[in-house]
Structure 1
Amino acid sequence: MQPVKGIAIKMVAVVCFILMNALIKAVSPHIPPGQAVFFRGLFALPIIIGWLAMRGDLATGLKVKAPMAHVWRGFIGTTAMGCMFAGLAFLPLPEVTVLGYAQPLLVVVFAAMFLDEKVGVFRLAAVALGMLGVMIVLAPRVTALNGGTVQVSEAVGAMIVLFGATCGALAQVHIRNMVRVEQTSAIVFWFSVTSTVLALATIPFGWVMPSGREVVYLVAAGLLGGTGQIFLTSCYRFADASVVAPFDYASILFALVIGYFIFAEVPSGQMLLGALIIVTAGVIIILRERHLGLERAKARASWTPEG
């Protein structure tokens, strides 16, 4: 194991995904989320195919043992991605990032519900702490429902992002079942395929002709998404999941910087407090899982932060 190298690779993945979200946010006023999902999936494919070919895993990546499992993973994961992209049109980038942190908290709950995983009082308390942080972040949006149109749209955006996090958690739990019979390379490849195809179903809801700059942003977002997935998958070759997992939360630092300097988004003290509580709860859960010896590297390698 080379933990320092694994952490460095994980950080590259985190930066790729945050830059991807920033590009999606930049085009979100004009480009529907379903259309953004299509570009994300389509232009991630060449990167992923090239990576599989370099590793000699292309044949494995195309081989499927449980087709319907990939369909389900694609559907729920694409829904999660679409919700996250939709939320970027309504909320600041740091806030979407923080609300997305609800996903690993919900994974603990869903794993107990659907995988019969034993979850003790310690982890349940950490989940409760994390959800308190989520409620602190959500509170200004929910209480603003009686306000103006912009406030209502932001409240709806927050609910959409939280629903996306819920779908992402369900997808992650499903992946834990899939890795028992499917190779990580196959899960990664077919998710990009299914998300691209499923995104086409949103055409009747109003796709638009993007400008030249928007096309560049969308293509770059897809390439960054594919690159981020490769680095995310690769980091587990050099370090245990429990070592690199806490660095997911570094994304809030990058989101704050990009949000402030690119989108002129100034985070509120309440949002930062909620983020601190959520991150603390997430790290507690990761450390507890490490203590319990729960191995989830294969499932994590197949996962993308947006679904």
Structure 2
Amino acid sequence: MRPDSPSPVVPFLIACAGIATFSTMDVLMKQLSIDLGSYNAVLWRTGTGTILSGIVYLATRPALPDRATMRIHAWRALFVAGMAITFFWALARLPMAEAIALAFVAPLMTLYMAAIFLGETIGPRSIAASLLGLLGVIVIVAGKLGGNDYAPEALWAVGAVFLSAVFYAYNLILARRQAKMAEPMEIAFYQNFFVTLFLAFGAPWFAVFPGLDHAPAITGAAVLATLSLLLLSWAYARAEAQILATTEYTGFLWAMLFGWVFYNEPVTWPTIAGAVLIVAACLIVARKTPHGDPVEPAAA
């Protein structure tokens, strides 16, 4: 397994770029989920991603991963499939900023999952940063959701976001372990492949062939998702999950911008106040030093 970088700053910035790329993909996936349903949006995106990443990956004539590595590729893909279906189902029914804000329970869960599954020591600075970010989410949710009457389907969408967050939190833990065992391009190919394989079992009942007018959005989403996965895989191979998990909060800034630009979703003062708290949380973690927080045990 490759060692961590001496400084977490570069992996942190690369992870932020990965989140920005993924947030751009969300814009395309929101519309695809509205038009085709979340199952078909994810199926055709990952199917296209399998072809595109496979061309690049297989051209290098790679050796077949060992059994342990292949197992974690498949295991993580199972959680990614559940995470994607539930999140994009909710995204088709909620504004982007609201869906992303609700999903921010995932990084907080990841801190404690990292301690359980990876043996990482949770430092006080990481805990304080995650709580500050969570406070920002509470401010946003209170401002955007408080006092609104939701239709039953929207309430189900809120529940779907929280379920997706559970999948995503564990996915981040697996990402850390997977990134230590495989190169980013290998991860990108096998994740797309296994997610498509798992979803294909439901194809006889749920699959619908998209029209040609959806091809640009599907291809664009596949390219952006693969690029995001490459960036995040590189970062998670070089820094602890508890550091990088907080970069998820920057996704709200992109959701706020894209929701306003593409879907005419208003930006409120509580949204701005919450965003300031979220950025502050990210900066606290980005400035973590070996003396400021304990590092991951060598055995992990």
Per the normalisation by structure 2, the TM-score is: 0.77
Please tell me whether residue 42 in structure 1 is matched to residue 47 in structure 2: yes
Taking a change above 3 Å as real, the CA distance of residues 179 and 24 of structure 1, as seen in their structure-2 partners, is: closer
**Structure 2 unmatched runs, 5+:** none
**1:90 aligned partner:** 93
Give the 3 Å change call, closer, same or farther, for CA 265–229 of structure 1 in structure 2: same
Partner of residue 38, structure 2: 33
> Is the 1:84–1:164 Cα contact (8 Å) retained in structure 2?
yes
Q: What's the CA shift for 1:50?
A: 3.8
Contact 2:17–2:231 under 8 Å retained in 1: yes
CA contact (8 A) 2:140 2:274 kept: yes
Separation in structure 1 between the aligned mates of residue 169 and residue 9 of structure 2, nearest angstrom = 28
Residue 21 of structure 2 contacts residue 228 of structure 2 at CA under 8 Å; is this kept in 1? yes
Q: Name the counterpart of 1:300.
A: none
Point out the more displaced range, 78-87 or 252-261.
Answer: 252-261
2:263 alignment counterpart:
263
In structure 2, the residue matched to 1:124 is 127
Q: Secondary structure at the match of 2:138?
A: helix
Other-structure match for 1:224:
224
| 271 and 124 in structure 1: CA distance in 2 versus 1, 3 angstrom threshold | same
Deviation at 1:180, TM superposition (A): 4.8
User: Contact 2:184–2:229 (CA<8 Å) still a contact in 1?
Assistant: no
**Which structure 2 residues correspond to residues 69-80 of structure 1 after superposition, within 5 A?**
69-80=72-83
Deviation at 1:23, TM superposition (A): 0.8
Partner in structure 2 of residue 107 of structure 1: 110
Shift of 1:125: 3.1
Match in the other structure for 2:203: 203
Q: Equivalent of 1:23, from 15, 22, 28?
A: 28
- Deviation track 1:174-220 (CA, whole Å, cap 9, x = no partner) reads 23334454454433321111111112234366443433322332232
Determine the C-alpha separation between the residues in 2 that align with 1:235 and 1:173: 13
8 Å CA contact 2:123, 2:294 repeated in 1 = no
Report the equivalent of 2:165: 165
Question: Following the alignment from structure 1 to structure 2, what is the Cα–Cα distance between the partners of residues 250 and 121?
Answer: 21
Q: What do you get for the CA RMSD once the two structures are aligned?
A: 3.8
DSSP-derived class of the 2:166 partner: helix
Residues 34, 289 of structure 1: CA spacing in aligned structure 2 closer, same or farther, 3 A cutoff?
A: farther
| Unpaired stretches in structure 1, ≥5 consecutive residues | 296-307
- Is the contact between residue 25 and residue 85 of structure 1 (CA under 8 Å) also seen in structure 2? yes
SS in 1 for 2:120: coil
Compute the displacement of 1:266 (Å).
Answer: 0.9
Which sits farther off after the overlay, 93-102 or 228-237? 228-237
Moved more, 215-224 or 93-102: 93-102
Q: Does 1:63 align with 2:68?
A: no
Aligned positions, number = 289
Contact 1:14 1:251 in 2 (8 A): yes
Local SS of the residue matching 1:274: helix
Is the CA contact (8 Å cut-off) linking 2:9 and 2:287 kept in structure 1? no
- Per the alignment, do residues 89 and 4 of structure 1 end up closer, same or farther by CA in structure 2, a change over 3 Å counting? same
Q: Aligned in 2, Cα 1:50/1:283: closer, same or farther, shift over 3 Å?
A: farther
Percent identity for Structure 1 against Structure 2: 23
CA distance in 2, matches of 1:289, 1:76: 32
* Matched residue type, 1:230: L
Find the residue that maps to 1:59 and give its secondary structure. coil
Deviations 1:252-297 (A, max 9, x none): 44433322222111133333333333343343234336644747xx
Q: Find the aligned partners of 1:121 and 1:5 in 2 and give their Cα distance.
A: 22
- Residues of 1 paired with 2:286 and 2:110: CA distance? 12
The alignment partner of 1:28 has SS state of helix
Q: What is the one-letter code of the residue matched to 1:40?
A: R
CA distance in 2, matches of 1:7, 1:156: 33
State how far apart, in whole Å, the 1-side matches of 2:74 and 2:106 are: 21
Residue 166 of structure 1 aligns to which amino acid in structure 2?
V
